Chains A and B, each alone.
Chain A
Amino acid sequence: MAMDAIPSETASPGRDRTALLRGGTRPSPRLLERKTRLIDLKAEGQPNLWLLGGALSIAIVMILSLVLLVLWNGLATFWPKPIAVVTLTDGSLVAGEPSRTATFRVGQEVLATLPPETQAEIAANGGYANRTLYRTGNFDLYGDDFRWVADFQTRAKEFPRDMVLFERQEWGVFVGRLASFVRDGRTVTVTDPWADEVRQAHRIARDRFLQIRTIQRVEIGEVNHYLESERLRLRKAALRYPEGSRELEAARARFVEREAFYQRRFEELSARAQALMREHEAETVTLVEIGGRERVQPLGTIVRFYPANDVNFLQKLGIYGSRWLEFLTDEPREANTEGGILPALFGTVALTLLLVVFVTPFGVITAIYLREYAKQGKLVSAVRVSVNNLAGVPSIVYGVFGVGFFAYTVGGSIDALFYPEKLPSPTFGTGGLLWAALTLALLTVPVVIVASEEALAAVPRSMREGSLACGASKWQTIRYIVLPRALPGIMTGVILAMARGAGEVAPLMLVGVVKLAPELPIDGFFPFIHLERSFMHLGFHIFDVGFQSRNSEAGKPMVYTTTLLLIFLILVMNLTAITIRNRLKRKFAGSQF
């Protein structure tokens, strides 16, 4: 180590510092000594160091807390929780997953009904008492998913091993006991919810249910699609050819023939679906809630069930994994508060990628003109200021513009020109993925323009001169020398635009995001990519589930997991872009000398 060779008596502090800067691995004894001494910031000429450092720390603490909150709640949501059975003072029973506790002020009228010793206890606490929120489920029986139980109402609390949590296709979860199920016309009483018999019956019933859904959605959907396109074909012919012409008659004949064919196919399929449906409805399961009321429903409508107080760690892990899998790969159910978010995930990724595809060329071309070709003067300065100000326009304004200009004006014209047979129902003349991406591109283009301009301006003059002196034209110089050099900076702009676009919700509500769109913008029907379709978006999903659903408490876990996923998605997309940028940067790194 060269640094150790410097005798500490002769080394000045300045030399010590440079030794450190050069990459020394161990500070000299002198520097260590300096470190331990109290430093007078004022004497060092940095009286504001506390302010600057403090601001940074506060920012970091706030960001970290937010991330931790989302991370904890998002990850914990799907972990199976135990079911408590609470005996109330009036003798009735409440069963549910304890979800959180809070203190509350006991109302006067409630206080008056309580026994004197309880009243005294509450009074000692200054009028406050604790209460716990239980997720009781059974919305179809209770009319609510949650119930607050105050501590003073509780007489006993236990965790019986036979309490089962059922996740259902409809009506949310059911908390209760599994009494019996019907198999091949005979009723089987259940003692152990983990028994192979019931598991197997459930698996068969579930497969059957999914099969029915496939027939209804995919196969009948396909028939409907072709039938609809035949109908449009006829309509198109009717619009183009006069009444009584040979073409129109041919089209009619074709339609009649095809319609009959698809009608037969439809009847076949629905007969198959109905047969399965009868089996599905015959195999019922009897669920009993804690109060003794029964609920009978087809076994196939139970998505998942487990005795919440009788699961070991591995089983919990399995349930956790299967819930995440469902979350990531399935469609939403129960007004989006349960099930998966695949359409939203897909919509967000597709929208962001499309946004990048639109915003990058648009922004870069504008920046090239502004920086390289436009005569620098008052007009260009005004344009530049306007572009910067565009970044400050409220995003909802872009949404209004998007729906007015893109959807109604441009889309309406496209419909009139190319899809007259579908009118009055719009094709492009309403919100959709394409218009949403264009609106977001407009919203984020100032970021790209400003960043690209900076990047272009930072390309050394000597590079351009070198190229021009070789006899390259201005365009060749920009294309071969300036743009590659500016690419990392341009990428930075695109990354910023992407991050902003992926997190934007307000304008999307106007230009194509919907609450539920199980049809993905990509499917097996020509032309395979359907940019005119409305779509789902994670950001809007958070808003919808958290604030627009019938029960915001039920949607809360979903809000956290969706937020977690959205943040993770943006992180992944940004990391990808940053990796590409750094690779480019390394290519152009290396000193000039």
Chain B
Amino acid sequence: MPDTMLASPAEEFPPTEYHVRVGGRGAAVEITHFNLWYGTKQALFDNTLSIQAGLVTALIGPSGCGKSTLLRSLNRMNDLIDGLRISGTIKVQGEDIYAPGADVIAIRKRMGMVFQKPNPFPMSIFENVAYPLRVDGVRDKAVLQETVERSLRGAALWDEVKDRLGDNALGLSGGQQQRLCIARAIAGSPEVLLMDEPCSALDPIATAKIEELIDELRGQFTIVIVTHNMQQAARVSDNTAFMYLGRLVEYGDTDTIFTKPKSPRTQDYITGRFG
């Protein structure tokens, strides 16, 4: 990373240089002038973007640019960190999730999340997928069974595991575990699906399957995916946001970003000149 880029961030990066209005069925998540500090260190600077409902939005950028932080702000997973401070608003379907008195648990139920490393719970496949319902207090066997099957089918895992739903989930392969985590994320019928580099720990074949799955889920859920892999962003996303040093540099539909980027920094990054 060239040192000159760090010289005076405020001057070099006015908030969101190139913000294109993107089409869609309207905003699912509206991020407005969002700043975030870890203690005294500011990690996000004045981010403003609207994530379109039913589409796949990719967040790209070099390591440490704040894309994961932004993603984890959307379901308030960052709350677990001590000394966290924010300003600005994030609205999900018009409701400010950082408003005082907002119900964090309800918010998280509306946002399914898939993590970088597959993290199935040490229980059976069935119980893993049923977990979001269990914590909601659902006891009805039929409802549970129906939801588990629907979610596993939705995650393209049903045919592989239908005969061994009682087996320990830790016995699945890495790719299957990640699809199980996706099934778990969609079992709670969320509005938005957050994916934090879901393929970074997987082999190419498992990655291809997950990408296929994302394509199938398009339209059913609003998907936000953080990725390091630019080909992946180009393949699966409708819209792409490029972030750098905590700032949103460019946001627009994926074709435009990858073929005619407006910012020279975006150009440099996607052509592999840095990052």
Chain A residues within CB distance 8 Å of chain B? 375-376, 460, 462-473, 476, 480-481, 484-485, 587-593
Contact = CB atoms under 8 A, between A and B. Distances in A.
Nearest to B171: A590
Interface string B127-161: 00001101110000000000000000000000000
Given A462-B117, A463-B119, A469 B112 contact: yes
B99 interface: no
Contact of A472 (B106, B135, B171): B135
Contacts of A463: 119, 121
Interface stretch (B29-37, B181-189, B245-253, B266-274): B181-189
Nearest to B108: A471
Given A465-B77, A465-B115, A590-B171, A470 B184 contact: yes
A593 B171 CA distance: 9
A470 B188 contact: yes
B119 A460 contact: yes
A588 B122 contact: yes
B91 interface: no
Interface of B: 75, 77, 80, 82, 105-106, 108-109, 111-113, 115, 117-123, 131-132, 134-136, 168, 170-171, 174, 177, 181, 184-185, 188, 201
Contact of B118 (A484, A587, A590, A592): A592
A581 to B, nearest CB: 15
Chain B CB count within 10 A is highest, among A472, A481, A591, for A472
B119 A468 contact: no
Contacts of A376: 82
B270 to A, nearest CB: 30
Contacts of B106: 471
Nearest to B114: A469
Contact of B136 (A460, A462, A471, A485): A471
A476 B133 CA distance: 12
A380 to B, nearest CB: 13
Contacts of A590: 122, 168, 170-171
Contact of A593 (B111, B118, B122, B134): B118
B77 A476 contact: no
A466 B115 contact: yes
Contacts of B177: 592-593
Chain A interface helix/strand/loop/mixed: helix
Contacts of A473: 105, 135
A589 B122 CA distance: 8
A387 B144 CA distance: 44
Nearest to A484: B122
23 contacts: A376-B82, A462-B115, A463-B119, A465-B80, A467-B135, A469-B111, A469-B112, A469-B185, A470-B108, A470-B109, A470-B135, A470-B184, A470-B185, A470-B188, A471-B108, A471-B109, A471-B136, A472-B135, A473-B135, A588-B122, A592-B117, A592-B170, A592-B177
Contacts of B171: 590
A460 B117 CA distance: 11
Contacts of B168: 587, 590
Nearest to B112: A469
B181 A466 contact: yes
B59 to A, nearest CB: 17
Contacts of B120: 466
Chain B CB count within 10 A is highest, among A466, A588, A591, for A466
B170 A591 contact: yes
A376 to B, nearest CB: 8
Contact of B77 (A469, A480, A589): A469
Chain B CB count within 10 A is highest, among A375, A460, A480, A593, for A593
A591 B170 CA distance: 7
A220 B111 CA distance: 74
A471 B188 contact: yes
Given A465-B77, A590-B171, A471 B119 contact: no
A470 B115 CA distance: 12
Given A460-B119, A466-B181, A472 B131 contact: yes
A562 B190 CA distance: 65
Given A481-B121, A587-B168, A590-B170, A469 B131 contact: no
Contacts of A472: 105, 131-132, 135
Given A466-B184, A468-B77, A469-B113, 14 more contacts: A462-B115, A462-B119, A463-B121, A465-B77, A466-B115, A466-B121, A466-B181, A470-B184, A471-B106, A472-B135, A480-B121, A480-B134, A480-B135, A588-B170
A396 B171 CA distance: 50
A375 B82 CA distance: 9
A588 B170 CA distance: 8
Contacts of A468: 77, 80, 108
Contacts of A471: 105-106, 108-109, 132, 135-136, 188
Contacts of A469: 75, 77, 108, 111-113, 115, 185
A485 B119 CA distance: 13
B46 to A, nearest CB: 26
Question: Which 3 pairs, one residue from A and one from B, show the smallest C-beta to C-beta distance?
Answer: A590-B170, A471-B109, A469-B113
A116 B89 CA distance: 113
A466 B105 CA distance: 13
B170 A589 contact: yes
Contacts of B113: 465, 469
B132 A470 contact: yes
Contact of B174 (A462, A467, A593): A593
Contacts of B131: 467, 470, 472, 480
A593 B118 CA distance: 8
A120 B192 CA distance: 106
A464 B132 CA distance: 13
Contacts of B77: 465, 468-469
A485 B181 CA distance: 18
B211 to A, nearest CB: 19
